[in-house]
Chains A and B, each alone.
Chain A
Amino acid sequence: SQKIEQNSEALNIQEGKTATLTCNYTNYSPAYLQWYRQDPGRGPVFLLLIRENEKEKRKERLKVTFDTTLKQSLFHITASQPADSATYLCALGRSGGYNKLIFGAGTRLAVHP
């Protein structure tokens, strides 16, 4: 069956450092991958989308890579800030008319001053 794995343990880093979160998947051939941020008690908020034919995508301090051979995506936050503390979810989707996403369990990031 399809499986998506994200770092199960919380990631603790110092302010100003780069946070790197990992998303690995098996038994799936996604057309794209999305990253969402989720704060406690709130719904996920979309951050970035990367397609299967793209290697890297950037948006401000965020960078996502997608390696379909390794079946892995890396999500980087550079110059991290305490306000970046949240749970980050990766989600896979196939093309074909609608956006049925399969989510990982998420990784909790804590950025300390």
Chain B
Amino acid sequence: GAGVSQTPSNKVTEKGKYVELRCDPISGHTALYWYRQSLGQGPEFLIYFQGTGAADDSGLPNDRFFAVRPEGSVSTLKIQRTERGDSAVYLCASSFPGDGYNEQFFGPGTRLTVL
């Protein structure tokens, strides 16, 4: 079956612009996570969805970042007024719900470059 897909694979934008990053999770996975990974670092948690609701958004760095998952499947991470420091790889992962021990299935990521 298909894995987690993310689009676009690369996004180059100018400082101050708005961007949207899309994630298609594995069918049947109700849990969805967004992470951000900077060069030489591990993924950093941003937000977790269980179904349509954001159950934990404690990792979002500020109010320029927002994510939605309106139908409990596809999710979009939105970044307003982008800054050069937002440049990173944005990873999406999905998993089955459960007691928290489930493995996460990651997409290939979107590489965001803010000029």
Contacts and interface: CB of A to CB of B under 8 A. Distances in A.
B43 A44 contact: yes
B105 to A, nearest CB: 7
Most buried by A among B4, B35, B101, B105: B101
Interface in A28-43: 31-32, 34, 36, 41-43
B91 interface: yes
B106 A95 contact: no
Given A98-B56, A99-B95, A100-B56, A31 B43 contact: no
B106 A99 contact: no
A107 B35 CA distance: 19
Interface of A: 4, 31-32, 34, 36, 41-46, 49, 51, 89, 91, 93-106
Top 9 closest pairs, chain A to chain B, by CB = A43-B106, A103-B42, A46-B103, A99-B100, A103-B43, A105-B42, A44-B106, A95-B100, A105-B41
B65 interface: no
Nearest to A8: B40
Interface string B62-78: 00000000000000000
Contacts of B40: 105
